[in-house]
Copies of this chain bind each other. A is one copy, B any other.
Amino acid sequence: MLKIGLIGATGHVGYVLEGLREQTDAYLAGIAPGSHGEDMDSLNRRALQYGYIPELYPNYIEMLDTLKPDVVAIASHFNDHASIAVEALHRNIHVFVEKPVATTLADLDNVKVAYQNSHAQLAAMFGIRYTSCFLTVEKLLQEGSVGEVRLLHAQKSYRLGERNALYKRRETYGGTIPWVGSHAIDWLYSWSGERFTSVFASHSTRANQQHGELEATAMCQFTCTNEVMGSLTIDYLRPKQAPSHADDRIRIVGTRGIVEVMHNKVYVINEGAEGIQEAPLLPSQPIFADFLRQVQGRGKCLISSEQSFAVTEACLRARMSADEGRVVFF
């Protein structure tokens, strides 16, 4: 029976609560704040609604040392992910961590070293990969629906709404490319089948409606090995009249076809049929359950540690490119 500790009440804690729903061999044993001022009462109430009765610890170090969880999930303020992950890895506790894994390259290095020196496993919360459309794309690519991938373009568009102070300072937020863009950079990285060789990016805080240092728009262009290329636009300018919070898209162009996610559908053009085909969708899966299966030796998580680190690094190099207005090489 795996003991799960949840650290933080800020990021996608829902992945953990959902992922444990049908697990008979894992349970939420404890929760602890990961950052100063997190609302643990509210998290505790949510846990109770799911039927979990975790112990509440005053800080995560005490939880790690007293509870000795097998696995921790980390969803604190974004700039605290790395140091918490390091503490868990030092204790050989498996880590399921909010993306990006770190908000600075120095912090990322600390996590990588701690991981290499541990016997623990790690995956970042790239949960969109487990939604219906994106799992379907994964399958289509494996089946060779587009042939050899040559070009990818992704879109992240969110409503801004009113966000709290965490989002308004680079130091705590990390930036829009790492926070919002990381999902799409994960798609580009995973589905190009290549390594990134360089990135050029731009971002701007204009039109951010009093959100301080938060960038309302951004773009990244990655060059990859084998002359594959991937780009990405990000904006927080999706109007409130839009039919949903997010407008996530990706278009993957290969030598034998094109696959595209748009408006929660998957479209294919290839030799399979004339015209544009709508692909039948796979059901979504709970990401945390997939990670737990790997921890238990019963499978391989779709999100590897290598990829979690590589995508975080790519986010931070893209942010550096945008800050400095120059090409950054990998």
Chain A residues proximal to chain B, CB less than 8 Å? 148, 150-151, 153, 155, 157, 198, 200, 202, 204, 206-207, 216-219, 221, 223, 226-229, 231, 233, 235, 237-239, 241-243, 251, 253-258, 269-276, 325-327
Contact = CB atoms under 8 A, between A and B. Distances in A.
Contacts of A226: 206
A218 B223 CA distance: 11
A271 to B, nearest CB: 6
Contact of A237 (B150, B216, B223): B150
Nearest to A237: B253
18 contacts: A150-B207, A150-B237, A153-B219, A153-B233, A200-B327, A202-B227, A206-B227, A217-B227, A219-B229, A219-B231, A233-B253, A237-B253, A238-B269, A239-B269, A241-B272, A241-B273, A242-B275, A243-B275
B274 A255 contact: no
Contact of A241 (B153, B233, B243, B270): B270
B207 A148 contact: yes
Contact of A229 (B202, B269, B271, B276): B202
Contacts of A275: 241-243
B241 A207 contact: no
B255 A325 contact: no
B327 A217 contact: no
Contact of A150 (B206, B228, B243): B206
A200 B221 contact: yes
Contacts of A251: 155, 233
Given A200-B200, A221-B200, A223-B202, A151 B239 contact: no
A155 B226 CA distance: 22
A257 B159 CA distance: 11
Nearest to A263: B276
A220 to B, nearest CB: 8
B150 A255 contact: no
Contacts of A204: 150, 227-229
A232 to B, nearest CB: 9
A270 B238 CA distance: 9
A219 B256 CA distance: 19
Contact of A217 (B198, B229, B237, B276): B229
A282 B270 CA distance: 32
